[in-house]
Amino acid sequence: MISEHQGTEPAMLDTLKAVFGFQCFRPNQESIIKSILNGQDVFAVMPTGGGKSLCYQLPAKILQGTTIVISPLISLMKDQVDAALETGISAAFMNSSLNAQEMADIYRMLKYNKIDLLYIAPERFAMPHFLETLKTVPISFFAIDEAHCVSEWGHDFRPDYLSLSVIPEMFPHVPVAAFTATATQRVQEDIIGKIGLRSPKIIRASFNRPNLFYRIKRKSKVDVQILEFLKGHRDEPGIVYRTTRDSVMDTAAFLVSKGIAALPYHAGLKGDERTRNQEAFNRDEASVIVATIAFGMGIDKSNIRFVIHADLPRNIESYYQETGRAGRDGAPAHCILFFSRGDIPKIRYFIDQITDEKERSISMEKLNQTVGFASHNVCRRKQLLKFFGEEYPSDNCGACDICSGSVEQIDVTTDAQIIMSAMSRTRQRFGAGYIIDIVTGADTKRIRDLQHNTVKTYGAGKHRDRKYWRFLVDELIAQGLIRQDGDRYPVLKLAQKGSEVLFGQDRVSALKREDAKRKPPLKGGEFDRYDEDLFEKLRLVRKNIAEEQQVPPYVIFSDKTLHDMCRSYPVSSADMKRISGVGDVKLERYGRYFMDEIRRHLSNNPRKITANTTR
């Protein structure tokens, strides 16, 4: 119930400005919060970086009683609580990291209504003693985070979430808000049914993340490719995803040997080492974390400037969620996938181990969707949004490699015919690598034994390197002219459309792409230039404060907030209050340190003074 004398809309806006330091809501936030304040159940699909946490933190501040946030991310709870405390919200968490005395203190605070926001794991919720305690305290509403975990069709099903179905029965007058970053229509219906949401307000936010730049590059010597990218992004925090523990360790060691502050993270490391490495990354002590998918759901770091997939993800949902960890503060960030068809058999091996036929079929379908995304030379953003049932309205997104590079169509009919002829003359019984050996004239024992050095197309492609022919095979597969047949060792087969090209009845073209040499553009006024020298100084101020407070730097202020300071140079409290992300509590605690640094910077650089600083 809303505190006495507070109307819904004035209370929302006042809290937004005073507590969180924002002048206006992001899309869908206002509608979600209003529904919660009015006691209605909510189901919200909001992409990572869409401002989901504000949707339950703000009403928790307004409503009487405690908001219970159920989340599987035990490693993330402390950071979320620290961030809430920094804005002036009374918050706590309960999980296995607390000792008996700390747990008793929280129960006491809960009993006396001293906690606005309590984070718990679904396992804790299922404990009878905890449920009995909740019945004795005023609960404002339940927020279920990562709600896709309740669905077997989601990409991260967790059986513990099924216990949440008792909430509507045990707390019939308490609203429930379920949030997830990724859910297809099928997953959405499954979640609503399994939790038992009552005529919920359904919000499906746009999956478009305009500040993310998507790029896919052909994979070859991937560690060197990663290093090349990092050279242009010195000291920027980022994640490199690898499939196996060994590759994580190898890549991390390689980067360290080249002077990059990189740390590994995977389930095989000891728990305390994983925690130390994650903490070092959170606190900007290490700029790069190299990790398996074991890392990520426990990370709330808002200033991640890039996510690199050095191996092919298993499904689009995971890829979208993992790339979504970049740029959560709204500032520009880069997402790069290094793609090689050599990764496909590795993933298929794991899929083949799945005993349930239906589950195995679903996993195979999801892998094929990911391969299609990586191999089709179509706007990356358009493809991603289409997967989630959303149409991108423009022909050019301006923020992916396809749309921002210089692109031209080239006719590849003759070379396609060379590939297809080699396939046909060897009776369509061989894989891509062997066919490329034939057209490039490789002198191998296998080719000699099978006498394929005598076929007409042997050596017909010597004028091109193997990389080109690999690209062409991928392109012909993507266009449906040839297909791969078979599971572990797929062979190339001609499709009907391919036969028409082979026999001269049709032609084929491909995109010739040259990556832009400059830093990829990201459109929109919010990505305007800022004073980079001042930004580095303010980053240092932020880091020093964060170390004193023993919290990650982004908890003090996000990169986006610092960028705003570096555009408008606030030197008074009134100026500082206009900066997005500066609420009353943070202004009082930290404002003077940043204003002092800005004044010093302006006195040493008088030409930086603009109309913004003389208001």
Cβ proximity of 117 and 62 under 8 Å:
no
State the pLDDT at residue 318: 87
The answer to whether the pTM exceeds 0.75 is: no
Nearest CA-CA partner of 212 in 381, 46, 366, 60:
381
The DSSP code sequence of 139-175 is: EEEEEESSGGGG-TTSTT--GGGGGGGGHHHHSTTS-
d(CA 128, CA 88): 32
Helix (H, G, I), strand (E, B) or coil at 362: helix
Q: What digits encode the pLDDT tens for the residues 586-611?
A: 999 999 999 999 999 999 887 655 44
Cβ proximity of 84 and 25 under 8 Å:
no
Q: What digits encode the pLDDT tens for the residues 235-245?
A: 899 999 999 99
The residues facing 289 across adjacent strands are 239, 263
pLDDT higher than threshold 50 for residue 417: yes
Q: Which two tokens stand for residue 5?
A: 């004398």
Q: What digits encode the pLDDT tens for the residues 342-355?
A: 888 888 888 888 88
State the pLDDT at residue 408: 64
Q: What digits encode the pLDDT tens for the residues 34-67?
A: 999 999 999 999 877 778 899 999 999 999 999 9
Cβ proximity of 459 and 439 under 8 Å:
yes
d(CA 43, CA 63): 19
The helix or strand, by DSSP H or E, that contains position 223, with its residue range, turns out to be helix 222-231
The DSSP code sequence of 533-582 is: HHHHHHHHHHHHHHHHHTS-HHHH--HHHHHHHHHH---SHHHHHTSTT-
Give me the mean pLDDT over the 227-256 stretch.
94
Helix (H, G, I), strand (E, B) or coil at 93: strand
d(CA 498, CA 495): 5
- List of domains in the chain: 8-204 (3.40.50.300), 212-340+372-405 (3.40.50.300), 409-514 (1.10.10.10), 528-614 (1.10.150.80)
Q: Could you tell me if residue 518 is left (phi over 0), alpha (psi between -120 and 50 degrees) or otherwise beta?
A: beta
d(CA 298, CA 302): 12
Neighbours of 411 (CB within 10 A): 11
Task: Report which DSSP code applies to 583.
Answer: -
Provide CB contacts within 8 A for 213, sequence distance 6+. 332, 333, 334, 335, 399, 400, 404, 520, 522
Q: What digits encode the pLDDT tens for the residues 169-189?
A: 999 999 999 998 877 788 899
∠ CA(406), CA(412), CA(415), 5° rounding? 135
Cβ proximity of 18 and 177 under 8 Å:
no
